[in-house]
A and B are shown apart, each in its own frame.
Chain A
Amino acid sequence: MGLLRPVFARFVALVPVVIGVTILVFALNAVALGDPARVAMGQRADPEALARLRREYALDRPLPVQYMAWLGRLARGDLGESFREQRPVGEVIVERLPATARLALAATLISIVLGVGMGGLAAVRAGSALDHLLMGVAVLGISTPVFWLGMMLALVFAVTLGWLPVSGYGDGALRHLILPAFTLGALHTGTVARMTRSSLLEVVRQDFMATARAKGLPEWAVLGKHALRNALVPVVTVIGIGLADLLVGAPLTETVFAWPGVGRLLVAAVGQRDLPVVMGAVLVFALVYVLGNLLVDLAYLVVDPRMRDAIRA
Chain B
Amino acid sequence: MPSARRPLRHRGFVAGAVLVVVFAAASLLAPVLAPEDPQAVASGSERTLEGPTASHPLGTDALGRDVLSRVLWGGRVSLAVGVGVETLVVVLGCAIGLLAGYFGGPVDAALMRVTDVVMAFPSLVLAIGLIAVFERPGLDKVFIVLVALGWTTIARVVRGEVLSLKARDFVQAARALGGGHRAIMLRHLLPNAVAPLLVAATIGVGGNMVAEAGLSFLGLGAQSQTISWGAMLADGQTFLATAPWVAVFPGAALLLAVLGVNLLGDGLRDLLDPRLRA
Partner-B contacts on A (CB < 8 A): 16-18, 20-21, 23-25, 28, 31-34, 39, 139-140, 142-148, 151-152, 154-155, 159, 166, 194, 198, 244, 247-248, 251-252, 255-256, 263, 266-267, 269-271, 273, 275, 278-279, 281-282, 285-286, 289-290
Contacts and interface: CB of A to CB of B under 8 A. Distances in A.
Nearest to A247: B122
A159 B246 CA distance: 15
Contacts of B219: 267, 271
Given A151-B236, A256-B237, A270 B251 contact: no
Interface in B77-109: none
13 contacts: A20-B116, A28-B130, A32-B133, A145-B258, A159-B240, A166-B240, A198-B278, A251-B128, A252-B217, A281-B129, A282-B125, A282-B126, A290-B120
Given A143-B258, A147-B217, A148-B233, A251 B124 contact: yes
B125 A142 contact: no
Contact of A289 (B121, B129, B237, B241): B121
B244 to A, nearest CB: 5
B169 interface: no
B135 interface: yes
Contacts of B118: 24
Given A148-B233, A290-B120, 14 more contacts: A20-B116, A33-B133, A145-B210, A145-B251, A145-B254, A146-B214, A151-B240, A151-B251, A248-B122, A251-B218, A269-B132, A278-B129, A282-B121, A286-B121
A289 B122 contact: yes
B202 interface: no
Interface in B210-228: 210, 213-214, 217-220
Contacts of B217: 147, 252, 255
Query: Which 8 pairs of residues, A with B, have the shortest CB-CB distance?
Result: A20-B117, A148-B251, A247-B122, A282-B129, A143-B259, A248-B124, A34-B135, A270-B132
A159 B124 contact: no
B123 A248 contact: yes
The winner among A39, A139, A145 for most chain B CB atoms within 10 A is: A145
Given A251-B218, A278-B129, A155 B278 contact: no
Contacts of A24: 117-118, 121, 126
Given A144-B255, A286-B120, A248 B247 contact: no
B262 A151 contact: no
B80 to A, nearest CB: 18
B72 interface: no
For chain A, what secondary structure do more than half of its interface residues adopt (helix, strand, loop), or is it mixed? helix
B216 to A, nearest CB: 10
B122 A286 contact: yes
Nearest to B217: A147
Nearest to B209: A145
B254 A248 contact: no
A140 B122 CA distance: 22
Contacts of B117: 17, 20-21, 23-24
Contacts, number: 141
A279 B129 contact: yes
Contacts of A270: 128-129, 131-132, 137, 220
B248 interface: yes
A74 to B, nearest CB: 16
B79 to A, nearest CB: 16
Contact of B132 (A20, A28, A166, A286): A28
Given A148-B251, A159-B240, A286-B120, A267 B133 contact: no
Interface in B234-268: 236-237, 240-241, 244, 247-248, 251, 254-255, 258-259, 262-263
Nearest to B241: A159
A256 B132 CA distance: 20
Nearest to B219: A271
Contact of B125 (A145, A155, A198, A286): A286
B184 to A, nearest CB: 29
A215 B165 CA distance: 47
B31 to A, nearest CB: 26
B275 interface: no
Contact of A266 (B129, B254, B255): B129
A198 to B, nearest CB: 5
Given A17-B116, A17-B117, A155-B244, A145 B214 contact: yes
A166 B238 CA distance: 12
B168 interface: no
B5 interface: no
Contacts of A198: 278
B253 to A, nearest CB: 10
Contacts of B135: 33-34, 39, 273
A286 B125 CA distance: 8
B6 interface: no
B269 to A, nearest CB: 13
Contacts of B236: 151
